[in-house]
Amino acid sequence: MESATPESPATAIAFERRPETYRHWKLSFEGPVATLAMDVQEDGGLRPDYRLKLNSYDLGVDIELADAIQRIRFEHPEVRAVVITSLKERVFCAGANIFMLRGSTHAWKVNFCKYTNETRLAIEDASAHSGIKFIAALNGICAGGGYELALACDEILLVDDGNSAVSLPETPLLGVLPGTGGLTRVVDKRKVRRDLADCFATIAEGVKGRRAVDWRLVDAVHPTSRFKEHVARRASELAAQSDRPRGEPGIALGPLDPVVTESAISYSAVQLELDRDKRVATLTVSGPTGPQPSTADGIVSMGDRFWPLRAFRELDDALLRLRFNEPAIGTVVVKTSGAAADVLALDATLLAHQDHWLVREIIHFMKRTLKRMDLTSRSFFALIEPGSCFAGSLFELALAADRSYMLDDPEQPNTIALSAMNGRSLTMSNGLTRLATRFLATPDVVAELLAGNEPFDGQAALDAGLVSFAPDELDWDDEVRLAIEGRAALSPDALTGMEANLRFAGPETMETKIFGRLTAWQNWIFIRPNAVGEKGALTSYGSQSRPEFDFGRT
């Protein structure tokens, strides 16, 4: 079912970028308005078998975009509006590169779409929580993933030049779905009527001008001569509504510099050890060490060395490397190491200053990283052992895990603890905290648990429903070993689907719709012969031959 020549980049993907070396974007600043201009280098793809024409993109382009959004949040607190536009003539963005998709494995396509979805959601998160509004200034044709990027912005302005249209040509041209939340955002975010959305998503050439406004696909169209002026005006109007600080300096996000060996990736506070024979990784997060700041100024001074920011940046990077570079690792054992009291003290510091712009950014970043874990299609088993520090925000790792095992041995003190961070800040994609999702059946329990101040030993944690199992010393080794071995033996596809369904009980949001409903359909279509078979639409695109379909409906 895979494409004839599936390829991944020959070397492992790294996810760190610096604006100075961006190849595809120009990031500039003018007072409270940042401009992020797309200028994709045709020969700058991650693989040599495609050229990134017409501002089409691959993962490398999106990694730079994600980096830019992140740096605007942390390094530029003065920015209150971001204009996303293009430096190409008459082209905003042609979407994900089709030849890249065609030459990619199924797993690569799926991971690529997941990552680009997370980047779009990071834009919406910045708009919802950081006082940064985004304008898509579509100064040329805007197709597929290009329009999906626009959909992630707060406003979409389209040039009215008789030619520039927005479009989702995936279904008519490629026989697949728009892969980055497009269908969901069209009907759920922009509330386009479903019959108009149906037409729109089947018209390869898209919709332009007045009709694009009437159908709610864009917010306004402006003639070429006045386009920049209108964009600038809306950017300053949106910037004026922001609550971001004035006159405060940002902090620099320095390189993470992990030590990468054949079997491990080691950061300052995170370690990922890989046992490829067993298809199991061990992910260990170490708690804070040394003195920690207790004031907002102290946090700003520490900058990217402040433990919560550093540890979660490292965790985020480790999860991404795991996803893209280690597809055969199916199970991840999650551990922590350190002093619970220190984690809890930092949680208290964070909450005491949560209205400070930087602390706000740190907390939302922790939240996004934990969401990245929820959305990582690997089985996570948390092992809670003596010397661990599953407390407060780090206990979220155990809550995010598919199961948790806690050693219950009176002779080896071993506890977990909650903090107020578990009660509201670190919400999942479904809009609930992990505690609220865990206790859907007994919602009152959440407040009771959060009101307590005592740590929980194994038996208490088990009784409270905070861990899955609490074996004693005698059973521990065997029970844990059998659980991990058993997991590693199951069908990876069935596990991916099972976890995607069990992890997000409770309410649905646009976010869970995108990752649940839309992604799943997209994955299905991405392995159907009508798309990727020898005569499928994705395979045939750009060649002389037309696709041939098996017209049986499923």
Q: According to CB under 8 A, which residues from 403 to 462 bind its own copies?
A: 403-404, 437-441
The DSSP code sequence of 430-464 is TSS-HHHHHTTT-THHHHHHHH--S-EEHHHHHHH
Residues numbered 211-240 forming contacts with its own copies, rule: CB under 8 A: 216
- Segment interacting with its own copies (CB under 8 A) among 19-27, 116-124, 180-188, 308-316: 180-188
* Maximum separation of any 2 CA atoms in the chain, in Å: 77
Binding to its own copies by CB under 8 A, coded x per residue (else -) over 52-91, reads ----------------------------------------
Answer for the pair 165, 208: CB distance below 8 angstroms, yes or no. Answer: yes
Using the rule CB under 8 A, which residue among 493, 534, 542, 545 binds its own copies?
Answer: 493
Q: Which helix (H) or strand (E) holds 106?
A: helix 106-129
By CB under 8 A, residue 540 contacts its own copies: no
Binding to its own copies by CB under 8 A, coded x per residue (else -) over 505-534, reads xxxx---xx--xxx-xxxxxx-xxxxx---
Q: Which is nearer to its own copies, 18 or 193 (CB)?
A: 193
By CB under 8 A, residue 198 contacts its own copies: yes
Q: Which is nearer to its own copies, 55 or 184 (CB)?
A: 184
Nearest to 96 by CA among 29, 173, 157: 173
> What is the total count of residues that contact its own copies (CB under 8 A)?
93
The CB-of-447 to its own copies minimum distance in angstroms stands at 17
Q: Which is nearer to its own copies, 234 or 378 (CB)?
A: 378
Q: What is the DSSP letter of 546?
A: P
By CB under 8 A, residue 184 contacts its own copies: yes
Instruction: Give dist(CA 147, CA 189) in Å, integer.
Output: 13
Residues numbered 84-143 forming contacts with its own copies, rule: CB under 8 A: 106-107, 110-111
The CB-of-530 to its own copies minimum distance in angstroms stands at 5
Using the rule CB under 8 A, which residue among 21, 225, 246, 328 binds its own copies?
Answer: 328
Query: Kind of pairing, strands 270-275 and 264-266?
Result: antiparallel
The CB density around residue 205, as the number of other CB atoms within 10 Å, is 11
Q: Which is nearer to its own copies, 10 or 502 (CB)?
A: 502
Q: Please enumerate in sequence order all residues whose Cβ is within 8 A of that of 43, keeping only pairs 6 or more positions apart, or say none.
A: 51, 52
Q: Which is nearer to its own copies, 123 or 322 (CB)?
A: 322
Instruction: Give dist(CA 359, CA 188) in Å, integer.
Output: 31
Instruction: Give dist(CA 330, CA 490) in Å, integer.
Output: 9
By CB under 8 A, residue 490 contacts its own copies: yes
Amino acid at 160: D
Answer for the pair 32, 72: CB distance below 8 angstroms, yes or no. Answer: no
By CB under 8 A, residue 464 contacts its own copies: no
By CB under 8 A, residue 554 contacts its own copies: yes
Using the rule CB under 8 A, which residue among 193, 210, 226, 305 binds its own copies?
Answer: 193
Using the rule CB under 8 A, which residue among 448, 486, 534, 545 binds its own copies?
Answer: 486
Phi/psi at 73 (5° precision): -70, -45
Phi/psi at 311 (5° precision): -60, -40
Q: Which is nearer to its own copies, 302 or 464 (CB)?
A: 464
The CB-of-191 to its own copies minimum distance in angstroms stands at 4
The DSSP code sequence of 223-249 is EHHHHHHHHHHHHHHHHHT----SS--
By CB under 8 A, residue 319 contacts its own copies: no
Instruction: Give dist(CA 542, CA 539) in Å, integer.
Output: 9
The CB-of-98 to its own copies minimum distance in angstroms stands at 14
